[in-house]
A and B are shown apart, each in its own frame.
Chain A
Amino acid sequence: MIITALLVAVVAFLAAIDEQTFGASMMSRPLFTGPIVGLIMGDMTTGVIMGASLEAMFMGSIMVGSAVPPEVYASSVLSIAVAIQSGAEVGTAVALALPLSIFLQMWRNFCYAIPGSWAGKQIQKAVEERNMKKADFLHLTVVPLSIGIPSALLVFVAIAFGADSINAILNMIPEVVMNGFNVAAGVLSCVGLALLIKMMSNNKVLPYLFLGFVAVIYLHMDVIGVAVVGFCIAMIAVNNMKFEDAEEDF
């Protein structure tokens, strides 16, 4: 049992870091992890079918923009394992993995905020020190490990000692903290955008920012549309640029 739990935890680890390390290869989706977990647990067919059901369930759950979907990867590995272990229905298995899913999403956002920001700072320092080996190492390890290890650990405990054991602990996290983390995850992208604004802005180009903002808010355009408009305006502005040595203007 311990070895099975360990192997499933490895799958959960790899699935959890897919977005980070494997370029969102989709190997982390339940449709793909289903057969693998099935193979480890000794019931491939159930794994495949469970994977398909979970995939259909989480089809719309993707990380785009600021939307906060529940964590799919490690928690669906757990759902599939629970279903094979106890012969539970899809719904029951998902319900048992739900606290983990909610917690891991919160944890992921925390990793992007604190360990991720810390890693960035250290990488910047390493570049200043001209130590690219260190910079590359930090880039490749800090965030994947801080997301992957807790995911794998929780999945391991849940399979070895029963999902209820971790759910009891996870349910102890106050709801206010969970909600606060979710709100923060929606807001936090403004930090990165603020850095860009600080770097690029001068009074000459700042009005264009409001133009792009208003185009989305009032005209309900999408980013591609705004970019096309921005491109046209940029072309017009560039063609109207005056240079001191431009003689053909006279």
Chain B
Amino acid sequence: MENKIQTADKEKRAEEIMTAKEYRSIFWRSFTIQSSWSFDKMMAYGYMYALEKPLRKIYPDDDDFYAALKRHTETFNITPHVSPFIMTLGVAMEEENAKEENFDTDSINNVKVGLMGPLSGIGDSFFWGTFRVIAAGIGIGLAQQGNILGAVIYFLLYTSIHFITKIIAGKYGYKLGTSFLENASENHMMEKLSYGASILGMTVIGAMIATMVSLQTTLSFTLSGTETTLQSIFDQIFPGLLPLAATFLCVWLYKKNVKTIYIILGIFALCILGCAVGIL
């Protein structure tokens, strides 16, 4: 009997998690996703901030609530304009976690990491590359003649697309999450999801090292009469060697329990030193 009540309770709760109020909370809070941006955690705490309200509703118990918040303090980065998609998807996963006892919580972060690369790729090229340029182009044309409408049209055009994208992204993230996770408990679905997402995530991290981390040496020396740069030799053997080496040096330092602040200060010091002696 008690069990029945609990199940009924859970079902009732599940129906009510994402009401208009929670969508609004995620929508408005998502604007501050970069508010505590740092090189190490990036938008992690912005994501956590946006999920605070729905998580509170999913986990009335304090222990569960803070455990869930902590799950969302891992490094995260995305084009801000499409962020509600992964936010409501995260809510759907947390909701499933609250319902299913054998939910693998690692899969939540794996899915987030797996999606951040491709969604940012789409978001960056659409918002920064395409839409901002079109809106600005229209605005500049008018503003060059001293017409204030240029600024107004630019702002309205951009903001309407910005808002609409955020609203739609929020709705679909949740929809996709819940429909996908509906039969997650059957057929080792959770293990498959977790493993598949970690493969996707790792592949994307590899691609992000190549695109986000830039490090080149300007060291040049004379080799049998001709001037050669060390970078050109790297480029022939393994072009991305330095960014990859820098990343894994950081991984190694983290495994040695070196604190983030020392790693960051060390990078600053080495870069300034490198510029001073002319190798960077």
* Chain B positions 129-172 with a Cβ under 8 Å from a chain A Cβ: 132-133, 135-136, 139-140, 143-148, 150-151, 154-155, 158-159, 162
Considering only residues 206-259 of chain B, those with a C-beta below 8 Å from chain A are 206-215, 238-240, 243-244, 246-248, 250-251, 253-255
Minimum distance in angstroms from A156 CB to a CB of chain B = 23
Chain B residues with CB under 8 Å of A189's CB are 39, 208, 212-213
Say yes or no for B200: interface residue by CB 8 A criterion: yes
List which B28-43 residues lie within 8 A (CB) of chain A: 30-42
Known: A59-B136, A192-B41. A27 touches B247 (CB 8 A): no
Q: Are B32 and A241 in contact (CB under 8 A)?
A: no
CB of B273, distance to nearest CB on chain A (Å): 7
Given A117-B39, A196-B74, decide whether A191 and B188 contact each other with a Cβ distance below 8 A: no
B273 touches A230 (CB 8 A): no
- Quick one: which of B70, B127, B255, B271 contacts A181, CB cutoff 8 A? B271
- Contact status of A52 and B38, CB under 8 A, knowing A194-B247, A194-B250, A230-B204: no
Q: Is A66 an interface residue (CB 8 A)?
A: yes
- The reply to whether A231 and B200 form a contact with Cβ atoms under 8 Å apart is yes
B147 neighbours in A (Cβ, 8 Å): 48
List of A residues within 8 angstroms of B261 by Cβ: 114, 117-118, 121
Establish whether residues A66 and B33, one from each chain, have CB atoms under 8 Å apart when the complex forms: no
Asked if B205 and A188 sit within 8 Å, CB to CB, the answer is no
Give the Cβ gap from A125 to chain B, nearest Cβ, in Å: 11
In the complex, which residues of chain A have a beta carbon less than 8 angstroms from the beta carbon of B31? 21-23, 25
Residues of B within 8 A of A213 (CB): 206-207, 209-210, 240, 244
Alpha-carbon distance between A144 and B17 when the two chains are bound, in angstroms = 31
State how many angstroms separate the Cβ of B115 from the closest Cβ of chain A: 8
Identify the interface centre among B40, B46, B52, B239: most chain A CB within 10 Å of its CB: B40
Closest to A49 in B: B146
Which stretch in A5-13, A157-165, A219-227 binds the other chain?
A: A219-227
Query: B88 contacts the other chain (Cβ, under 8 Å)?
Result: no
Contact present for A190 and B199 (CB under 8 Å):
no
Given contacts A23-B30, A23-B32, contact A49 B203 (CB under 8 A): no
Q: Which residues of B contact A217 (CB under 8 A)?
A: 210, 238-240
Which residues does chain B contribute within 8 Å of A45, judged by CB atoms?
146
User: Would B118 and A192 count as touching, CB distance under 8 A?
Assistant: no
A190-216 residues with Cβ-Cβ distance < 8 A to B are 190-201, 205-206, 208-216
- Chain B, residue nearest A144 (CB): B35
Residues of B within 8 A of A48 (CB): 143, 146-148, 150-151
Residues of chain B contacted by A95 (CB below 8 angstroms): none
Question: A191 to chain B: which residues have CB within 8 Å?
Answer: 39-40, 250, 260, 263-264, 267
Contact of B268 among A44, A113, A194 (CB under 8 A): A113
- Say whether A24 contacts B202, CB under 8 Å: no
Within 8 A of A (CB), among B58-83: 62, 66, 69-70, 73-75, 77, 80-81
With contacts A27-B155, A183-B275, A208-B206 taken as known, whether A192 is within 8 angstroms of B39 at the C-beta atoms is yes
B113 interfacial by beta-carbon distance below 8 Å: yes
B180 beta carbon closer than 8 Å to chain A: no
Given contacts A22-B31, A188-B264, A216-B211, contact A139 B36 (CB under 8 A): yes
B21 in contact (CB, < 8 A): no
Asked whether, in the complex, the Cβ of A120 is within 8 Å of the Cβ of B206, the reply is: no
Give Cα distance in the complex from A238 to B248, angstroms: 27
**Is there a chain B Cβ closer than 8 Å to A138's Cβ?**
yes
Interface string of A172-198 (1 = CB under 8 A from B): 000011011101101111111111111
A112 to B39, CA, bound (A): 6
Minimum-distance CB pairs A-B, first 3: A212-B206, A116-B38, A180-B272
Contact surface of B with A, Cβ cutoff 8 Å: 30-42, 44-46, 48-49, 52, 62, 66, 69-70, 73-75, 77, 80-81, 109-110, 113-114, 117-118, 120-122, 124, 127-128, 132-133, 135-136, 139-140, 143-148, 150-151, 154-155, 158-159, 162, 188, 191-192, 195-215, 238-240, 243-244, 246-248, 250-251, 253-255, 260-261, 263-265, 267-268, 271-276, 280
